[in-house]
Structure 1
Amino acid sequence: MKHCFNVTKRRMLKFGVLSVFCAASPLLAPVAHADWKPTQYITYIVPFAPGGLTDVAARMMAKGIGDKTGWNIVVSNKAGANANLGAAEAARAKPDGTTWLAITMTHAVNKTLFGEKAGYDVEEDFVPVAKIASSAIMVVVPENSPIKTLQDLIDTAQKKTLNVGSSGTGTPPHIAMALFQDLTGTKMTHVPYKGGAPSMVDLIGGQLDVVFSNYPESLPYVQQGKLRAIAVTSDQRAPAVPDVPTTAEAGLPGLKVDNFTGLLAPKGTDPALVREISDRVVKVVGDKAIGEQLVKLGFIPDPMGSDQFKTYLNEQIQALSKTIKDADIKVN
């Protein structure tokens, strides 16, 4: 602390600024994050298998941010336990800005579905950094199905029990199906698969009547004419299938499911550093070329800063909790 007194002490005391000067000392001041350069690589944990939609988006963001900042961002896939394994690992990481977690709607669901068994609490153990984008659920039927519209689906489901596939228990497609049943007073037979791809195969083959699918998983088959899309659960129509109405336009506005992807950091990360990373993410998502790539993947770019994303995430958790409890969804 000697350097605090290298200036004329009397002059400092005269103007009452000695304490201010010492508080601003480089030894005591908080780190300025405007030009933050991590001393080691950043681990961007993706709790899903490589090649999936979340993984591809994360790698896109890692490259975009790295190109603009010089940060060395390494995507690390930690799949397992319904995306809980990687999340639990991230929750235990040092809160110094060098560990990021990619999350989706699945983690908002897991808060209720698994509770303490998840091994972490998505609200208590993390700090929201930024939302990146949204991805709708697309309601699809076989191309030769007599079901042409969402109203047709409602009418048919009220007359007989339909077989409905999903990418797994508690996944966004399953939640969408459960919400549909709750809104329409129908009862369907849920057929969970280990991923969305096999459900598409069985839907095309006629073993299923309908699938509430992750948009990117069913889009190629819709474009090839093998499946018919009757609605998307987003606020806006999907750019790649502009003729497919939203669920609100089709007469069921309550059927809105936002399968989002965003970024979290471990609890305790310096708020100034969180803002710095958040700003970088939002700017990259706003880049025209990145935005176009996200759209091609099936996303709708929807960047949110830390505070806005925190509110959004809390609202999603509350809404999804109600749907899960009303539908009595459980995992073994």
Structure 2
Amino acid sequence: MKIPTLVAALAATVALAQPATAQSYPTRPVKIIVAYQPGQGTDVATRYLAEHLGKAMGQTFIVENRAGAGGNIGTSEAARGAPDGYTLIMGTNGTHVLNQFLYATMPFDAEKDFEPVMLVSTFPMVLLTNPTSPYGTLAELLAAARAKPDAVDVGLPSTTARLVLELLKQQSGTSIRGIPYKGSGTSMTDLIGGQVPLAIDTVSASRAFVASGKLKALGVTSLKESALLPGVKTVAAQGVDGFQVLAWNGLYVPRGTPAAVVQKLATELGKILARPEVRQRLLELGHEPEGGSAADFAEFARTERKKWGPLIAKAGLKAE
């Protein structure tokens, strides 16, 4: 066989193999890495969706937790995974946007080492206070912070909470002192007990306390009111124009995964996220379901990097 003919035959074989791979995929269990501890919000939502993906695609989707270094350990493992559709990762705004600006060195490149599949969910943060504190509204809090710079303390249990505070200070012209906490548990305990007057946390971590009256929500960080905390005004609607901070989860695969496999994953996940019962359950878990194309997700992440990179640099934030 002549070389041009052989090359053409090989190209045709590869072209035929791509759809065949997608049609048969998956033929064995699929691993979804979660770069955080079991029981954390991303983990719980991922396990729920993994069950649905398994039923839809006829194979087991196994969630593996690889926590540490702000999500960098598990994400690095995912980046080194074979690009064959059997290693996925539920990325977050931390792993795929913020960490590259917070850590001096990174074991992976969030843009170059991964391909986006779909934005799965978003969830706003919420500014919380103890009902006995002197801050009954966001306006009262900001007025107090302007009157006495750095005299108002707020508990910060996460990197995203730190960013909420920095953006709030920048856009409202106030100076509020952040008190770092390692996780929501201790910050919530101190807030309920009155040891700290304010905290910033996820809706999922706090809404039970808000519903019971143990805490009061002063504002959510989405541009529109959240279905997760109906009736709570946004920060933007209370005088801080355009204020928005969203935490998010999104499915990624290692760069080089066949396009047909990525598309099959996106198609099945999109169908799952469109189901009313799935959307309702995700809301109950503290996640607002999203969806859309891989291109939309990639552009969303690029916009996030452009927004947070300069703010993190200006504030001098570093990983703790």
Q: TM-score, normalised by structure 2?
A: 0.92
Which residue of structure 2 lines up, in the alignment, with residue 326 of structure 1?
A: 314
Which residue of structure 1 lines up, in the alignment, with residue 116 of structure 2?
A: 128
Question: Match for 2:319: what amino acid?
Answer: V
State the alpha-carbon separation in 1 of the partners of residues 145 and 58 from structure 2.
54
Which residue of structure 2 lines up, in the alignment, with residue 163 of structure 1?
A: 153
1:251 to 1:102, Cα distance in 2 relative to 1, 3 A: same
Q: Is residue 20 of structure 2 the alignment partner of residue 30 of structure 1?
A: no
Which residue of structure 2 lines up, in the alignment, with residue 113 of structure 1?
A: 102
Residue 261 of structure 1 aligns to a residue in which SS? strand
Which residue of structure 2 lines up, in the alignment, with residue 64 of structure 1?
A: 52
**Any residues of structure 2 matched to 1:131-146 within 5 Å, and which?**
131-146=119-134
Which whole-Å deviations, capped at 9, do the CAs of 1:189-242 have from their partners, x for residues lacking one? 221111112101111111212111111111111011011101101132222432
State the alpha-carbon separation in 1 of the partners of residues 248 and 213 from structure 2.
27
Once the two structures are TM-superposed, the CA of residue 34 in structure 1 deviates from its matched residue by: 4.8
Which residue of structure 1 lines up, in the alignment, with residue 268 of structure 2?
A: 280
Q: Is residue 189 of structure 2 the alignment partner of residue 204 of structure 1?
A: no
46-55 vs 178-187, which moves further: 178-187
Q: TM-score, normalised by structure 1?
A: 0.89
Which residue of structure 2 lines up, in the alignment, with residue 307 of structure 1?
A: 295
Residues 176 and 255 in structure 1, CA contact (< 8 A), matched pair in contact too: no
Question: Match for 2:266: what amino acid?
Answer: S
State the alpha-carbon separation in 2 of the partners of residues 133 and 320 from structure 1.
19
State the alpha-carbon separation in 1 of the partners of residues 260 and 18 from structure 2.
9
Q: Is residue 80 of structure 2 the alignment partner of residue 92 of structure 1?
A: yes
Which whole-Å deviations, capped at 9, do the CAs of 1:262-302 have from their partners, x for residues lacking one? 11111111122211111211211111111000111111111
1:217 to 1:95, Cα distance in 2 relative to 1, 3 A: same
Residue 100 of structure 1 aligns to a residue in which SS? strand
Structure whose CA Rg is larger: 1
Once the two structures are TM-superposed, the CA of residue 179 in structure 1 deviates from its matched residue by: 0.8
Question: Match for 2:292: what amino acid?
Answer: M
Residue 189 of structure 2 aligns to a residue in which SS? helix
Count of residues paired in the alignment = 314
Identity %: 32
Question: Match for 1:182: what amino acid?
Answer: Q
State the alpha-carbon separation in 2 of the partners of residues 38 and 208 from structure 1.
50
Question: Match for 1:114: what amino acid?
Answer: Y
Question: CA RMSD, aligned part only?
Answer: 2.1
Residues 279 and 305 in structure 1, CA contact (< 8 A), matched pair in contact too: no
- Structure 2 unmatched runs, 5+: none
State the alpha-carbon separation in 2 of the partners of residues 255 and 25 from structure 1.
52
Which residue of structure 2 lines up, in the alignment, with residue 263 of structure 1?
A: 251
- Structure 1 unmatched runs, 5+: 2-17
Residue 252 of structure 2 aligns to a residue in which SS? strand
Residue 120 of structure 2 aligns to a residue in which SS? strand
State the alpha-carbon separation in 2 of the partners of residues 236 and 291 from structure 1.
18
